[in-house]
Chains A and B, each alone.
Chain A
Amino acid sequence: MDEARWIGTTLAAARPQALAALLRYFRDLDLAEEAYQEACLRALRTWPQNGPPRDAAAWLVFVGRNVALDSVRRRAKQTELPPDDLISDTGDAEAEIAERLDGADYRDDVLRLLFICCHPDLPATQQIALALRIVSGLSVKQIARAFLVGEAAMEQRITRAKARIGRADVPFESPGAVERAARLGAVAAMIYLVFNEGYSAAGDTSGAREPLCEEAIRLARLLLRLFPAEPEIMGLAALMLLQHARAGTRFDADGAPVLLDQQDRSLWNRPMIAEGLALLDKAMRHRRPGPYQVQAAIAALHARAPTPEETDWAQIDLLYGTLEIMQPSPVVTLNRAVAVAKLRGPEAALAMVEPLGDRLAGYFHYHGLRGALLMQLGRTREARDGFMTAIGLAGTAAEAAHIRSHLDGLRDAP
């Protein structure tokens, strides 16, 4: 890796911590971002000559703070800025800030930075865009690409989201235990949104969106380093790692989705699975189960099965049962029905699926699964109707093509 790339990576790694501290200092997101940008420009100029500082984040906070204060003063007095090399020689002051960054404040700073992106007034897509822009520091162009929209549209979306959180009051005092837990929950949900934005991509766009999954995993690890004993954060990280481990096998060369039982398990990412299983192990020791841990446990049972036939469907059925109690949702029941179909056959699964019709009438996967169960039961005409409805609701060409292959199978049937 050459020097410029190394500096780039160091700046990217220091960003959440540095920006979070600047936000606490200035209590204004725009000013904090401006100060951070300016500090990065100076880092690019001075680090190649002076060598990287011992603590990049502390350096950026110190320089960013001074530069911003200087620019405020300059606007007032029109005085000259000191030369760069004076600013870069921060000496003891840098060490002092480093000490403070290592303290307890810092983890609440980063949590606050993540938390302001989860403002409940913001729609999910804006939360994700804002987190990627502010916390991860992705460019508007990169985010626009991941969302498959134009750069101008994304710029506008982010500006609007920022204006909205600018009007909201974010409390800057250290949160109490209850408030901290609430923030952690909101941030975990936002990180999982970022992940799903990447994970739910169709085959033809999965390449552009995969970085979202990686970014979400990086944010979860960051959160876990700050709050190492939170079982649900471990569960969230494990869930994303176990799902993302299959990324390379979820689509075929033409971009069509490959179902779980048809994926080449030898191509699943083993280190990611190992990390996911290790985190889940750690989480379960706490005996404080939650929805992320349960979902991670389900993903772990798939990851542990050497072949699809060896999947422990009984355990998966039980885990979905637990999830239904923790987080009741027709989609969870629909997923449970897949396990039930494997365990007790299509009839039992269909009995579970039918009552969901009202709430999932517009849901592609409902009609897809219902059609497949009817097909297994030999109720061909009803199956065909189900598949036709599914095709009408398919979000991508590949989804529609997958259902069409079922229809072709029905036509061949006697």
Chain B
Amino acid sequence: MFYALLCYHQEDVVCAWTKEEDEAVMRKLAVVQERLAREGRLGPVARLLPTTAATTLRKDQDPPLVLDGPFAETKEQLLGFYLLDCADLEEALGIARELGAANPGGSYEIRPVGLFVDGGARP
């Protein structure tokens, strides 16, 4: 089963990290990611730019409305995601705990993936 691990955290807190703190977290995460990749369980991983760079298209009206900023004002913001190949929820939770130890604070939403299309484009 494929799971999406959606990473939520308070953006203003993450933006207040010093460069050294940010790098330290990324290094610890890389250790877990490298192992998952070796085990063939790691799909695409993305860290999103700040929500201030986001644009939202409200398509519940015609013509759709373009708005600056993220879709919703929330306490914690979607800052990134992982796609993971796991046998079951327990395994996905295990990985989430491990990543969480490397990057404390905030939440991970673990969401089973219904459809996955690898379009092949790479940044």
Chain A residues within 8 Å of B, Cβ to Cβ: 1, 5-6, 9-10, 12-14, 54-55, 102, 214, 218, 221-222, 224-225, 228-229, 234, 237, 271, 274-275, 278-279, 282, 285
Q: A residues within 8 A CB of B10?
A: 10, 13
Pair A282/B13 contact, Cβ less than 8 Å = no
Is B34 among interface residues, defined by CB-CB distance under 8 A? Answer: no
Q: A residues within 8 A CB of B55?
A: 282
Interface hub of B13, B17, B25 (most chain A Cβ within 10 A): B13
Pair B21/A229 contact, Cβ less than 8 Å = no
Known: A5-B21, A228-B67, A234-B52. 5 other contacts (CB 8 A): A13-B13, A221-B52, A222-B12, A228-B52, A228-B69
Q: If the complex has contacts A1-B104, A221-B50, A225-B52, are A9 and B24 also in contact, measured as CB distance less than 8 A? A: no
Interface hub of B19, B52, B75, B105 (most chain A Cβ within 10 A): B52
Pair A282/B53 contact, Cβ less than 8 Å = yes
Q: How far is the CA of A72 from the CA of B14 in the complex (A)?
A: 36
List 3 A-B pairs, minimum CB-CB distance, nearest first.
A228-B69, A224-B52, A13-B12
Q: A residues within 8 A CB of B19?
A: 214
Pair A1/B21 contact, Cβ less than 8 Å = yes
Distance in Å from the Cβ of B121 to the closest Cβ of chain A?
15
Q: Which residue of B lies closest to A17 (CB)?
A: B12
Q: If the complex has contacts A214-B19, A229-B68, are A237 and B13 also in contact, measured as CB distance less than 8 A? A: no
Pair A278/B53 contact, Cβ less than 8 Å = yes
Q: How far is the CA of A13 from the CA of B75 in the complex (A)?
A: 13
Q: List 27 A-B contacts (CB under 8 A).
A: A1-B24, A9-B16, A10-B10, A10-B13, A10-B105, A12-B16, A13-B13, A14-B12, A54-B75, A218-B16, A221-B50, A222-B12, A225-B12, A225-B51, A225-B52, A225-B69, A229-B67, A229-B69, A234-B52, A237-B52, A275-B53, A278-B49, A278-B53, A279-B52, A279-B53, A282-B55, A285-B66
Is B90 among interface residues, defined by CB-CB distance under 8 A? Answer: no
Q: A residues within 8 A CB of B75?
A: 54-55
Is B115 among interface residues, defined by CB-CB distance under 8 A? Answer: no
Q: How far is the CA of A1 from the CA of B104 in the complex (A)?
A: 7
Q: B residues within 8 A CB of A10?
A: 10, 13, 105
Pair A221/B15 contact, Cβ less than 8 Å = yes
Q: How far is the CA of A282 from the CA of B25 in the complex (A)?
A: 30
Q: How would residues 1 to 42 of chain B score, 1 for a CB under 8 Å from any chain A CB and 0 otherwise?
A: 000000000111101110101001100000000000000000
Is B62 among interface residues, defined by CB-CB distance under 8 A? Answer: no
Is B118 among interface residues, defined by CB-CB distance under 8 A? Answer: no
Is B60 among interface residues, defined by CB-CB distance under 8 A? Answer: no
Q: A residues within 8 A CB of B24?
A: 1
Q: How far is the CA of A137 from the CA of B51 in the complex (A)?
A: 24
Interface hub of A1, A5, A55, A224 (most chain B Cβ within 10 A): A1
Q: Which residue of A lies closest to B49 (CB)?
A: A275
Q: How far is the CA of A225 from the CA of B24 in the complex (A)?
A: 26
Interface hub of A9, A237, A279 (most chain B Cβ within 10 A): A9
Q: Which residue of B lies closest to A233 (CB)?
A: B52
